[in-house]
Structures are given as structure tokens and as C-alpha cells.
Amino acid sequence: MIDTLVPPGQLADFVPLAERAVSVDAASLIRFRAAERAVAGFVRLPYDVLAGRTLAAEPTGGFDITVSAADFLQWVEQSGPVPAGRDAHWLSALPPRHGWRRVDVVPDSVVRNLVRSGAELAAGTTSRQGQESLLASVVLTAADGASPEVQVRLGALTALTRMGFLPRDGQAAIDTAPGWVRVAAAYGSTYTSDGNPLGLLSQ
């Protein structure tokens, strides 16, 4: 049970992440992974993007547990019971803790312009398949001159802004690790697989 691993008060800053996930999908899950005086929380969004953030905490030990995001919100707000574990319902991998390499940093104006342009195109797309194709399209290519280019999908940038991770006049960093692309901002990060289904990647 999650209440024996970390006090709910130490997870309160995950509330915005869970709320935004539930606003997209009422059945959303939130997965917590703890180690070394920190807890990371992740939600999976419909367009094959993970969103997450890491906060300082004092867990009783390392753990990895998945719960309903809606149940988590009620528990943290002291209006519901301790959420039951739903580990079997989370079918995709998590990004690695270490091994990330910074490729580039872009200002928030670039990210927001790309997201705005994508939203304008989406407004003229009536089919779900068309919208999913648009979110999967590569809209930004990052390179540091020392290794292959990193392709960033519109879905990762859209999630970064919609989850409230990117402050105005902030920056977004483009990072890569084997099999993953991360877009990191001040309040959280989004993750996409590097050409592979999320569920087939190793943790």
C-alpha cells in the first residue's frame, strides 16, 4: 500500500499532474517510482507520450507502484481511501533514471509556436486517425554535431505545454537516452520512444 511507503503530504505536488491526466482520460493511471530521497510520478497520455516529474521526498525505501490517478487525488485530498495498487494495468516501460545526454535547448517561444501551428492544423482535421498522425509528426530536429539528430514529435511538445511544465520565458531541453527522447522543462518532462512502441522498451 502506498501509504506505508510515503506520506500523502509528500506527494501533494503531484496533484496537478494527476488532475491534468484525469481531464484527458478519467481512467488514467499514475505510476510512482522512488529512490534516493526522491519520488518520480508518471502518467501516460493517449498520444503515446509519457509525462512526469520528480520531487524530493523521504520514502521508507525504493518502490514502484501504480494507482488510479482519480483515486490518488481523492486520497491526497483526504476525501477517499488509500488507492489500491494497479501495477498489472500499466503495460509500458518507464524511462531510465540515468544515462541522459543533452542535445539542445530551445526557448519556450519556439515550442509554443510549434504547438500553436499544430493546433491550427488539428482544427481542420476531423478524423481521430488524422489527429493522431499529426501528433506523431516530427516538428523539431535537434542536433549537437557529435551524434545523430534527435527528432521531437508534436505530441511531446503539446503535452509539455498542456501539462503546465513549461513556464513563460522558460526553456525546454532536448535530451536522449537509448530508446528514448525527453523534453525537459522547469516543472516536468515529456518522454517518447525513439521509434519503438513504449510497451516494448526495457526499463
pLDDT of residue 195: 55
**Structural domains of the chain, count:** 2
For residue 200, name the pLDDT band (cuts at 50, 70, 90).
very low
Mean pLDDT of 52-59: 89
Q: In whole numbers, what is the pLDDT of the chain averaged over residues?
A: 88
pLDDT of residue 44: 93
H/E/C letters for each residue in the chain? CHHHCCCHHHHHHHHHHHHHHHHHCCCCEEEEEECCCEEEEEEEECCCEEEEEEEECCCCCCEEEEEEHHHHHHHHCCCCCCCCCCHHHCCCCCCCCCCCEEEEEEEHHHHHHHHHHHHHHHHCCCCHHHHHHHHCCEEEEECCCCCCCEEEEHHHHHHHHHCCCCCCCCEEEEEEECCEEEEEECCEEEEEECCCCHHHCCC
Kindly state whether residues 25 and 109 are assigned to the same domain: no
Q: What is the CATH number of the domain that holds 74?
A: 3.10.150.10
For residue 189, name the pLDDT band (cuts at 50, 70, 90).
very high
Full residue range of the structural domain in which residue 6 is found? 2-89
Q: Which of 44, 69, 89 is the last residue of a domain?
A: 89
Residues 2-21 have pLDDT tens digits of 867 787 888 999 999 999 99
